Structure 1
């Protein structure tokens, strides 16, 4: 049996690699969320994960690839939850309100999510592009959920609204808006509906 499948302490080499990769992702998420993406270094992440530096390169070509993997994992987690909740809403307006409430509360419950998804990507061209791609992904999902008559105009409106919501959340987390999470979600939902309602 080859070395890639030989068990060691009851686990295969592939399982051990997957565990090390998960530890690197978790360490990078914590460092990035607490200190910013510039604080995420190969040696720092490995030290935080309790791994030898050589294990970094079995999973990631460089730090940027690690950051993108952290971003994508956080996005998958958020999207999975939003889609499950939105699917239960009976009307387009309720889907918007439900989706915005879930999004805002997710950002409010862990400010690291907001730092990773909204503010921090602006410091890296690759991450900034990924954020733009994410906005377009949300626009496509919104089209699927709401079935607008004019998809092009609707997409423009959604992109505009998402940018505004992101800025609202960043300012709220920075302490410049004296709102509860529920109040912020209500305000954001109302503003988004005002922008996209003409296209529903």
Structure 2
């Protein structure tokens, strides 16, 4: 009997049957498994701590078999780095929106500080991971943290440049100082070291920003 080649439509149908399961492609299923691992990592890192979390614990919490961790991540540090990347992406997106208004400089700075201090309260798990647990992870997480802080410094830099015109003053350097100081204030507040309200934290952070900008402006007029 002569072989009859299947029509292109039949080939496409067979390929689709092989490549999908339960209505999802292999790539979609892998993406869903990655998301489940990240959700479990966020939950466990924030509740029991990074140092007390194992790959097996993450897999068990996610309801996945052992082989699926390596499908998305090389290590727990890699998983933590992915979480930090997402957390900073959300923060930077919202901060960018907060300062993209026609309001005076002071109000836009306050908007950004309000976002930064509000996010840890919206999801305390993300707050703990970003401010506390990420500090005990490895080099991949440290890199994401460094990149996140650099991007935040870039936003502050854009605000500082609006009012500083003295060539002796470097807004980039000052922006690093502002972000570093506010980050430490936020960490101390989140951990209970600073016994103040969120509004007081916002006010104090804004005063720091204003102190730098006003002093720099006064210096430029001398």
What is the distance in 2 between the residues matched to 1:3 and 1:63?
Answer: 34
Structure 1 residues 57-66 or 175-184, which shifts more? 175-184
Name the counterpart of 1:109: 122
Q: 2:109 aligns with which of 96, 113, 126?
A: 96
Name the counterpart of 1:133: 147
SS in 2 for 1:108: helix
Name the counterpart of 1:171: 188
- 1:137-174 CA-to-partner distances (Å, cap 9, x unmatched) read 11122233453545972222222222222222222222
How much does 1:135 deviate?
1.7
How much does 1:92 deviate?
2.1
- 1:109-130 CA-to-partner distances (Å, cap 9, x unmatched) read 3333332223333323412343
What is the distance in 1 between the residues matched to 2:168 and 2:100?
Answer: 20
Paired residues for 1:25-44 under 5 Å: 25-44=38-57
SS in 2 for 1:177: coil
How much does 1:4 deviate?
10
Task: Show structure 1 runs of 5+ residues with no match.
Answer: none
What is the distance in 2 between the residues matched to 1:139 and 1:114?
Answer: 19
Name the counterpart of 2:9: none
How much does 1:88 deviate?
2.4
Kept after mapping to 2: 8 A contact 1:158/1:196: no
RMSD of aligned alpha carbons: 2.5
Q: How many matched pairs?
A: 200
SS in 2 for 1:166: helix
What is the distance in 1 between the residues matched to 2:99 and 2:127?
Answer: 20
How much does 1:19 deviate?
0.5
Paired residues for 1:17-96 under 5 Å: 17-96=30-109
Name the counterpart of 1:186: 203
How much does 1:5 deviate?
6.8
Distance verdict in 2 for CA 1:29–1:85, change over 3 Å: same
What is the distance in 2 between the residues matched to 1:144 and 1:161?
Answer: 13
Kept after mapping to 2: 8 A contact 1:43/1:53: yes
How much does 1:90 deviate?
1.7
What TM-score do the two structures reach when normalised by structure 2?
0.79
Kept after mapping to 2: 8 A contact 1:154/1:199: no
- 1:24-81 CA-to-partner distances (Å, cap 9, x unmatched) read 0111111112222223321111111111111111111222211111110111112222
What is the distance in 1 between the residues matched to 2:17 and 2:76?
Answer: 25
Kept after mapping to 1: 8 A contact 2:44/2:53: yes
